[in-house]
Structure 1
């Protein structure tokens, strides 16, 4: 999965972040998804050019299957070109998200 490139169109988004994109796959009754939304939103707000996009897994089954998402929340960290640089399932810690962005944003 790491290294795969995704476009905004692949994800059903208007655009990707200028520097990185945090893609969260969620489901309606997933309690950790709410906390993940908060953490990713906070990190995206802290780092210029980073966008957080949440995708409802139940409404995008073909995408979920194509990407091998088996649990929610699942988070993909994309670099500016849409390359998957990190992937994790479960509720992330803020420090882990920031570290993953370090792999996505050069310099």
Structure 2
């Protein structure tokens, strides 16, 4: 499966779906982003059941601001509509595959419980 370009209009609809969605915040001028792009594309091909999406931070600055993106590339992982990973920096292929496995292995009932506890504490 190829990567999906997200816009302000399509972002929420995409990341709130059931399943896993990876989102790469990037920019054309970013060297590390360019080096990470083929690794991300390979992950997309190897994991067709996972949505691999990209947000061009220059074209969609409002999304970058909404998520507090201060360094790129930044990779986020959502599962069943919940953000479970958010970190800046490019990854090597094996590290990205380990992340995919970790997100797949999450106990989402426990994650939902932790989210509810955090929200109650606010």
TM interval, short-chain normalised? 0.7 to 0.9
Match of 2:10 in 1: 12
Measure, in 1, the Cα distance between the counterparts of 2:9 and 2:55: 8
**Larger helix fraction of residues:** 2
Match of 1:86 in 2: 85
Pair member with larger Rg: 2
Q: Residues 19-98 of structure 1: matches in 2 within 5 Å?
A: 19-79=19-79, 81-98=80-97
Q: What's the secondary structure of 1:59's corresponding residue?
A: coil
Which one has more relative contact order, counting CA pairs under 8 Å at least 6 apart?
Answer: 1
Measure, in 2, the Cα distance between the counterparts of 1:31 and 1:67: 21
8 Å Cα contact 2:23-2:55 kept in structure 1: yes
TM-score, structure 1 as length reference: 0.76
Q: What's the secondary structure of 1:21's corresponding residue?
A: strand
For structure 1, which runs of at least 5 residues remain unmatched after alignment?
A: 1-7
Cα RMSD, aligned residues only:
2.5
TM-score, structure 2 as length reference: 0.68
After TM superposition, give the deviation of residue 57 of structure 1 in Å: 0.5
Structure 1 outlier segments of 4+, above 2 Å: 8-19
